[in-house]
Homo-oligomer: A and B are copies of this chain.
Amino acid sequence: MNRDNRLSSILHVLLHMADRPAPATSETLAQIMQTNPVVVRRVMAGLRKRGIVRSERGHGGGWTLIRDPADVTLRDIYDGIGAPPLFAIGNRNAAPHCAIERSVNAVLDSTLKAAGTLLLKSFETVTLAKLHDGLRRRLGAPPSAPNRRRVS
């Protein structure tokens, strides 16, 4: 199975955006993500719908983070990319005829659902600001100030 990397990719990009004067073009962000600008637009479109970023067209256009990094959680971003499946394992048939299989599926589903709920809860505790400050400490840099210019 191919892993869905959008959450990881977009987190990375958003942290770069928090360190830059807005707006950043899809082209610029694509270089950071090491991918194609269309992939950037596709994934950012979901965040725009949830009011996390804004896009502007034409000269000087691009993408801008429009919410306070302290208010944006990993959960918000996860929802922004469409809340894709969390687990790589699952049931074969959604509604099997065999009663034994239905019973197995029910147990597995509820187990996974409980684990997923916990994971999403932990996503809620991680904000962009925390990540931002956390990595600054790792890098030995001074505490963050929003939107100060800084080289990638």
Contact = CB atoms under 8 A, between A and B. Distances in A.
Given A4-B88, A5-B89, A7-B89, A111 B100 contact: no
A90 B122 contact: no
A101 B13 CA distance: 9
Interface in A110-138: 111-112, 114-115, 118-119, 122-123, 126, 131, 134-135, 138
Contacts of A122: 111, 114-115
Query: Which of A101, A107, A114 has most B Cβ within 10 Å?
Result: A101
A103 B131 contact: yes
B87 A3 contact: yes
Contacts of A2: 1-2
A144 to B, nearest CB: 12
Contacts of A152: 98
Interface residues of A, number: 51
A12 B107 contact: no
B91 A88 contact: no
Interface of A: 1-9, 11-12, 15-16, 32-34, 74, 84-93, 98-101, 103-105, 107-108, 111-112, 114-115, 118-119, 122-123, 126, 131, 134-135, 138-139, 152
10 contacts: A1-B4, A1-B85, A4-B90, A8-B91, A12-B100, A32-B98, A84-B89, A86-B87, A99-B138, A115-B118
